[in-house]
């Protein structure tokens, strides 16, 4: 399930990342739903993902349950492997992926968050391990690689809503999954065609993990909030997800 960022519909994210072009080659079913529209302002589409992002108008919508209902509808209609149910999210959709993974860990095998983040709240581990992949550019000016806060200005009231950085997010989920919180380096990757070479470093938290859990960070050195994706960007994400099923 592909989850769009704040203000963009699902078809916008799919049009750029083109996961649909890979469904036959890799044999998966793809959904790219839309979040609800805000009650005020520009009535942007959003996911009610965390305190930071991006429920700015106090909606009570339960997007976690909504996304689960989409998964249940698809698994009821198609021959889907229950051990290979995945989420991919950009920005607000990345935040939402972490929420669904936490609240429905019995269902989600793995997630890939691009420029999203986990919640900053301290809480116990989810019931079941989930593999997580955090992809983030170091030059992201919207959701900072090192963490920060979303600044909301609503009805003349300014709010600062903090979120953790990419490494902190990955380490939090490494701890949830029982992994040693000491990452090891992997081979570099080419995710952003606007940056020369294999600009993306890899840090993996895979030692001592519970079965079905791990944590990985792909750091795009100099990458922006929306990467200028390489020809194999989406393929690399799909292959990583498919390599991380539930046990």
- pLDDT digits over 8-49, tens only? 999 999 999 999 999 999 999 999 999 999 998 899 999 999
pLDDT on residue 155: 54
Predicted structure pTM score: 0.96
- pLDDT digits over 218-228, tens only? 999 999 999 99
Say if residues 18 and 30 touch (Cβ distance below 8 Å): no
Q: Which two tokens stand for residue 28?
A: 């998966």
Beta strand 36-37 with 45-46: parallel, antiparallel or unpaired? antiparallel
Q: How far apart are CA 94 and CA 173, in angstroms?
A: 14
Mean pLDDT computed over every residue of the chain: 96
Q: Which two tokens stand for residue 150?
A: 């979303």
């Amino acid at each position: 399930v592909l989850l769009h960022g704040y203000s963009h519909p699902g078809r916008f994210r799919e049009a750029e990342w083109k996961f649909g072009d890979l469904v036959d080659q890799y044999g998966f079913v793809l959904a790219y739903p839309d979040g609800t529209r805000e009650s005020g302002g520009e009535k942007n589409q959003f996911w009610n993902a965390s305190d930071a992002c991006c429920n700015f108008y106090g909606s009570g919508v339960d997007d976690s349950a909504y996304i689960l209902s989409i998964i249940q509808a698809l698994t009821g209609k198609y021959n889907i492997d229950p051990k290979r149910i995945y989420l991919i999210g950009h920005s607000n959709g990345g935040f939402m992926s972490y929420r669904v993974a936490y609240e429905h860990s019995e269902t989600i095998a793995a997630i890939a968050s691009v420029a999203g983040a986990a919640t900053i709240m301290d809480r116990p581990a989810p019931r079941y391990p989930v593999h997580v992949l955090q992809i983030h550019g170091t030059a992201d000016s919207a959701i900072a690689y090192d963490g920060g806060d979303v600044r909301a200005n609503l009805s003349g009231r300014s709010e600062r809503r903090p979120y953790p950085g990419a490494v902190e997010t990955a380490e939090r989920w490494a701890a949830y999954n029982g992994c040693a919180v000491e990452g090891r380096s992997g081979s570099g990757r080419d995710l952003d065609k606007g940056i020369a070479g294999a600009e993306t470093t890899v840090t993996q938290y895979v030692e001592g993990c519970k079965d079905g859990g791990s944590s990985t960070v792909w750091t795009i050195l100099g990458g922006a909030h929306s990467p200028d994706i390489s020809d194999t960007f989406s393929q690399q994400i799909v292959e990583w997800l498919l390599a991380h099923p539930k046990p």
